[in-house]
Amino acid sequence: MLAAWCWGLSAGAWAAGRVASLNLCADQLVLQLADRADIIGLTPLARDCTESVLCDQAKQVPVLPAKAETVLAAHPSVLLASPYSARLAVRAAREAGAKVVMLPPASSLSDVPVQIMRVAQAVGQVERGHQLVAAFEARLAALSIPLSPTAPVAAVYEANGLVVHAGSLPNDILTHAGLRNFATVTGMGQAGGRVPLEVLLVRRPDLLVRDKSGPGQSVAQAMLDNPVLLAAFPPPHVADVPARLWLCGLPQTLDALALLRAARDRLVAPKEQP
């Protein structure tokens, strides 16, 4: 079936400037770099405001289901995806002549300019990419501070007690904000690691970073509103950072850095006063 679809599409069917994405992070870079008229489809997640920082803008663009048939019918000339995107749809588009650009997950803030330019080149907006990179790097420099060996310790505590690990984008953001990661300081930094509430209370970090933007009131999400947890981390020892700000490496990821830098400054301000 797939071969028949691909065989039936002539080379001229893939019109220039038809950009599609099968990845949430690529979705959001496409929205900031491509001409709106060139975007023929993004993932459904792009419209989900718990996952996407550009959900409102995404509602003005068609949704593209990650199926080979729908991708082929859309005739993209450029398809952005990740190594974890729907492989059959990606292979189908490539075999039919689309330019497939793979975008691996960002693991540090230094990855963001690289990914911006990769998408900018793919959608034919190199100058727009350079401008976005320049603005990103200027703001990053303004927000970043050196990490001290005695810097405050922050625990990014997610639903089900998950913590962020070393080598991740959130870990790098903490570092740029002048905060040490609780998970790495305590040796609990393995990917997908969980920290029981009791351990968090005993090894109490200086700052608790929560994401309260999750949908609904699941048992896992309600854990973040545990009265014991709230009592243990009163202001200024708590900061709310929506996960959508650092799910992807975007210019808006610096909003997470700004929130954490402000939280760090509130913590150290009393100590720095004469």
Model pLDDT for residues 234-246, shown as the tens digit of each residue: 999 999 999 999 9
13 pLDDT higher than 60? no
**Residue range 202-235, pLDDT digits in tens:** 999 999 999 877 655 555 566 788 899 999 999 9
pLDDT reported for residue 12: 37
Q: Give the CATH architecture of domain 144-265.
A: 3-Layer(aba) Sandwich (3.40)
Confidence of residue 15 (pLDDT cuts 50, 70, 90): very low
266 pLDDT higher than 60? yes
- The CA radius of gyration of the chain, in Å to the nearest whole number, is 21
Question: Rounded to an integer, what distance in angstroms lies between the CA atom of residue 266 and that of residue 20?
Answer: 43
Q: What are 184's two structure tokens?
A: 């790495």
**Residue range 42-78, pLDDT digits in tens:** 999 999 999 999 999 999 999 999 999 999 999 999 9
Same fold, 2-105 and 144-265: yes
Identify the DSSP state of 48.
-
Question: Rounded to an integer, what distance in angstroms lies between the CA atom of residue 90 and that of residue 96?
Answer: 10
Q: What are 101's two structure tokens?
A: 């650009």
pLDDT reported for residue 10: 38
Q: Where are the domains of the chain?
A: 2-105, 144-265
- Look up tokens 């994405």; give the residue: 21
pTM of this prediction exceeds 0.85: yes
Q: What are 99's two structure tokens?
A: 């330019």
The domain made up of 2-105 is a member of CATH 3.10.450.50: no
215: preceding bond cis by omega (within 30 degrees):
no
User: What DSSP assignment string belongs to 173-235?
Assistant: HHHHTT-EEHHHHTT--STT-B--HHHHHHT--SEEEE---SSS--HHHHGGG-HHHHHHS-T
Bridge partners for 42 per DSSP:
63
188 pLDDT higher than 50? yes
Confidence of residue 272 (pLDDT cuts 50, 70, 90): low
pLDDT reported for residue 218: 58
Out of 135-139, 149-153, 208-212, 213-217, pick the least confident: 213-217
Smallest CA-to-CA distance from 108 within 272, 269, 274, 253 is with 253
258 pLDDT higher than 70? yes
pLDDT reported for residue 9: 39
pLDDT reported for residue 5: 36
pLDDT reported for residue 164: 86
Confidence of residue 189 (pLDDT cuts 50, 70, 90): low
4 pLDDT higher than 80? no
pLDDT reported for residue 43: 97
Task: Classify 66 as helix, strand or coil.
Answer: coil
Mean pLDDT score of the chain, rounded to an integer?
89
